[in-house]
Structure 1
C-alpha cells in the first residue's frame, strides 16, 4: 500500500475493481504524498481533501453496489483554469483569487460522472499566458526533475503534479503548446486534441479559436483513459463538434507502426535555437520507430517562419477581447476606494493582471484597433489559412508529422528570458493550434543535465486514436515513460 502512486491508471482501475484497495485508501495515500512533497514542488493551488474523501467514499459505495464505471474512484488533478463548483477557480491570477465558481466546467462534470476523485486544482501561468508557470500569482511551480528549473507552461502545475507522483493524471489546456511543452519538460505524455474534440465550456478563455483541453499523464495508455472521459460533443460549447468518439483505450493497438509514414519537416530540424541534445534524442526516437517498421519521409513545411508572428497577433487579439470582461464590476478583483468608474476600471485591471497578461492585452488591443485591424489581425488570419493548407498538403503523403516538442529542455527558474525569446520557444507547437490539428508529446530521453526531452507527433484532424496508438507502441518498446524524477523516488 506504500507504492500506490507507482501504479499506472490501468493498474489502479484493476486494483479498485479487485478490491485490493479502496478509493478512500488510494485518495488518502495521494493526500499524504501531497502534504509531504508539494511544499517543494508547489504544484497545487488548492487541495480539496474534504471533498476528495467524500467523493472517494461515494466511489467505494458504487463499487460495493456493482454500479461503478471503469475509472470510478481514481484520483485526478484539474488545471486551475477549469471551473469547479464551490471551489476557487483562479486561472493563476490575482484577478480571480477570490472567485468561487458556481458551476462545473463540462470536463470537470464529465470527470465527476465517471467517478473520478478531484484532489485539487493545480498551478498555471496567469490566464494560461506563458511557457514557464512563473507568471502565476501564486508563485513558480518547480520541475520535479530539477527543482531549480521550470516545469513549462502554461499547464506547468498539471505536468509537475504527475511527474512528482502527486496525481495519476491531470487535465491541461493547450493554446499554443501548453500541454505538449510542459509534458516535454517533465518527461510525460500530453495530448492536444483536435479543436472541437473536448468541450471548452467552463474553461476560462484565453484565445477562443486556439484553446483546447486535453490529458496529461505518464503514458499514452494513461492519457487514453482520460480522453475517454474528456472527449465528446457538448451543446453548451458552440465550437464543440458533433462527431463520434473513439474508445481510445480499446484502440491503443489499432494503428500499425509498420508502414506508418512519418513526415520529417526539414525546416524543423534546422531551427537556429534547436539544442543539440534535443535534436539527437528526437532523431534517436525516430530511428527506433523506423526499426519498428515506420517509414521516414522528408517533407517541406514552407510556412514555418510565419508561425510565431501569426500566433502572437491572433492569440493576444482574442485575449484582449476575452479579458475585457474583468473590469472590477461583476466578479473578480476590485480595487479599493475607486474615485470614479474610470479609476475603478484602470486600477482593478492594472492591479489584478500581471505584466505578461497586460503585455498581451496591449498587443492584442493594438492589433484590433481601427487603423491596424486590416494590416495586422485580418492579415494574420489569412496567413493562418496558408499554414493550415501547408499541413493538409503534407498529410497527402504522410500519416503523421514528427518534430521536437520544444527546441530546448526546461529553463532555469528566474532565467528572465525576454518575451521574444520565450515566444520563439513555441516554434514547434503553435502551428498545431493555428491549424486546429491534434498533436502529442512523449518522452524520448534526457539531455546531458538529465532533463527530459519530448518527441511531438502531429496528426491529421480527428486522429487522436492514431497518435495515442503510435506512442503506446513506442512506449511498449522503450522505457522512457517509466523513468521517475528523484523527488518521486526519494519520497516513495
Structure 2
C-alpha cells in the first residue's frame, strides 16, 4: 500500500479491476498520505473523508478510474461542501454547494472519489495560491516557492503524491503555470471540449475545466472520460479523434512543423537564461524526433494590448462574481476582500459597456490574427509557460507594483485563453538546485491529439513521472 503514491491514476484503477485492492483501500491510503504530508504544503483546505469512504463503497469497479482518489479545486462545487471560492468573506457565511459542477459529476461517473478541496486564491484571480481563507500553499519541490495559481493547491497535492490527479481549471494559465512549477502535465483543452455547464462562470469563454496529472496517459484517458457538451452549451460540440485521445499515445504523430518562441514582449518580464535553455533543449529533442522545428510564432501574441484586453474582460467577471455573492450573503464590508480582488473589482466597475464591447471586438480581431499563423503551415508552437523559475511564496506582494507584475507574467498563457486554443504544459527539466521548469506546446482548435502525441514522445525520451520532490508521500 505504501507504493500507491508512486502509481498514476490508470495503474491505481487497474489494481481495483484486478481485485488486488478495493476502492476503499485506495481512499484510505490517500487519506493517510494527506494527513502525513499536507501540513507541510497546505494544499487541502477541506476534507470530506467520511463521505468519500461511503462513496468508495459504491464505486463501479468497471469504471475507467474506479476508486481513484482525487481532489477538487475550491472554485468548483462539490455538493454539500463549502462553496467559498477561496474567499474569507464568503467562507464566514457558511455557504455550501447545492450541486456538483459538471466536471466533478463527470469525474465521479468515471469512478473517481473526491476526498476534499484544494486551495485557490480568492475567486481564482491571482497566479499564486494564497488567501486569507486558507493562508499560503507551498511547493513540494521547495517549500519557500509557490506552486503557482490558481490551481496551485491541486498541483502541490498531485506533485506531493497525495493523489495521482487533481481537478482544477484554466482561465489565464491557472493549470499550465502550476503544472510547470510542480513538474506535472497540465492540459488546457479547447474551449468547449469539456463543458463547464450552461450558465457556468467561464469568464467570457476564457475559463475551461481541466486537471493536473503526473503522466500524459492519465491526461489522455481523463479527457476521453469527461469530454463532451452539456445541454444548453453555447459552444459547438468538438468531435474526438478516432479511437479517443488515448489513441494519440499509441502511434507517433506525423512529422510536425513546430515554431519556437523563447522571448517575451518588451513590456513584460523577460525570459531568464535557464528558462530559455529549457525551451531550446525541448526544441532539440523534438527536432531529433523528426519534427521540423523552426523559429516562429504568431506576431499577434506579443501585441501589448493582448493582456489589457484580457484583464478588461476578466475584471467585469469579478464584478459579476462579487455582486452575485453579495445578493446571496450580503455585501462585503471594508477589508473583507483580498487586495487583488479589490483591484479587479474597481477596474470592472470603471469599465463602460461600450468599452467592454470594444474589447470584445478587438479580441475577435486578435483571434483572427492568431489563427493566421496556424493556417500558414504551423502545427504547434513551443514556448515558455513562465518567464522565470517559480517565484518565492509571498510574490507578487513582496515586489513593487505587485498587481501589475501578476498580470505581465501571463504573456505566454493568457493569449490562448482568449483564442480558446488547446495548450499543454509539460516538464522540461529540473535546475541544478532541483527547481522544476516547464514548457508550453500550443495547437490549433480541437487538436489536443497533437499535444498529447508530442507530449507522450517527450515523456518517452525524457521521463519525468519517477522524479520525486523532497516533500513526497513516501
Normalising TM by the smaller chain, what interval? over 0.9
Contact 2:262 2:384 in 1 (8 A): no
Provide the C-alpha distance between the structure 2 equivalents of 1:466 and 1:323, rounded to a whole number of angstroms. 38
Structure 1 residue ranges, 4+ long, deviating more than 3 angstroms after superposition: 265-272, 349-352
Contact 1:278 1:447 in 2 (8 A): no
Q: Report the Cα offset of residue 206 of structure 1.
A: 6.5
Change (3 A) 1:276 1:168: same
Contact 1:127 1:206 in 2 (8 A): no
Q: Report the Cα offset of residue 469 of structure 1.
A: 1.5
Match status 1:403 vs 2:398: no
Match status 1:477 vs 2:465: no
Provide the C-alpha distance between the structure 2 equivalents of 1:361 and 1:240, rounded to a whole number of angstroms. 28
Aligned to 2:271: 274
Aligned to 1:229: 225
Q: In the TM superposition, what are the counterparts of 1:88-237 in structure 2 within 5 Å?
A: 88-97=82-91, 98-135=94-131, 137-201=133-197, 205=201, 207-236=203-232
The root-mean-square deviation of aligned C-alpha atoms, in Å, is 2.0
Q: In the TM superposition, what are the counterparts of 1:34-433 in structure 2 within 5 Å?
A: 34-59=34-59, 62-63=60-61, 68-97=62-91, 98-135=94-131, 137-201=133-197, 205=201, 207-236=203-232, 238-246=233-241, 247-256=244-253, 258-265=254-261, 268=264, 273-303=270-300, 304=302, 305-327=304-326, 329-331=327-329, 334=330, 345=331, 348=332, 350-367=334-351, 369=352, 373-374=353-354, 376-396=355-375, 397-415=377-395, 416-417=398-399, 418-433=402-417
Q: Deviations over 1:249-293 (max 9, x none)?
A: 23323451x511111246549865211111101110110111011
Provide the C-alpha distance between the structure 2 equivalents of 1:147 and 1:470, rounded to a whole number of angstroms. 31
Provide the C-alpha distance between the structure 2 equivalents of 1:174 and 1:449, rounded to a whole number of angstroms. 29
Change (3 A) 1:203 1:160: farther
For structure 1, the 5+ residue unaligned runs are: 335-344
Change (3 A) 1:27 1:202: farther
Q: Report the Cα offset of residue 476 of structure 1.
A: 1.1
Provide the C-alpha distance between the structure 2 equivalents of 1:459 and 1:160, rounded to a whole number of angstroms. 26
Q: Report the Cα offset of residue 209 of structure 1.
A: 2.3
Q: Deviations over 1:377-415 (max 9, x none)?
A: 333323322321232111121111111111111111123
Change (3 A) 1:351 1:230: farther
SS of the aligned residue for 2:270 comes to coil
Provide the C-alpha distance between the structure 1 equivalents of 2:257 and 2:307, rounded to a whole number of angstroms. 27
Deviation larger for 259-268 or 124-133: 259-268
Change (3 A) 1:330 1:84: same
Count residues in correspondence: 462
Q: Deviations over 1:66-108 (max 9, x none)?
A: xx22211111111111111111122111233121111111111
SS of the aligned residue for 1:487 comes to coil
Q: Report the Cα offset of residue 18 of structure 1.
A: 1.1
Q: TM-score scaled to structure 2, two decimals?
A: 0.93
